[in-house]
């Protein structure tokens, strides 16, 4: 079951959270109609996404990352060296 409460300012927001320690804050809406906190009696399950990446792809990403880091360092040296 969901519970939706409207609030006007940060103090009211904090008060709502403190008054409902037995509920889980699952969403906050800041829309034209006003500001709302939505609570649930049960926590929202965390969605876990599993992906598989080949070792070759991981190594390619590491190499690309290292090349980018090296390029950034070289650019800093050019900029700082030219000052």
- pTM for this predicted structure: 0.54
Range of the domain at 57: 51-83
How many independent structural domains does the chain possess?
2
DSSP code for 46: P
For residue 45, tell me if it sits in a domain: no
pLDDT in tens, 14-65: 999 999 999 999 999 999 999 999 999 998 887 778 788 899 999 999 999 9
For residue 10, tell me if it sits in a domain: yes
Q: Tell me: do 81 and 57 sit in the same domain.
A: yes
For residue 46, tell me if it sits in a domain: no
For residue 80, tell me if it sits in a domain: yes
Contact 20, 56 (CB under 8 A): no
Q: Tell me: do 35 and 64 sit in the same domain.
A: no
Q: Tell me: do 34 and 56 sit in the same domain.
A: no
């Amino acid at each position: 079951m969901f519970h939706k409460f409207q609030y006007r300012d940060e103090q009211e927001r904090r008060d709502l959270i403190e008054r409902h320690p037995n509920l889980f804050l699952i969403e906050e809406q800041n829309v034209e109609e006003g500001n709302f906190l939505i609570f649930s009696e049960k926590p929202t399950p965390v969605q876990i996404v599993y992906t598989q990446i080949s070792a070759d792809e991981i190594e390619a990403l590491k190499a690309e990352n290292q090349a980018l880091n090296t390029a950034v360092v070289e650019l800093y040296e050019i900029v700082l060296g030219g000052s």
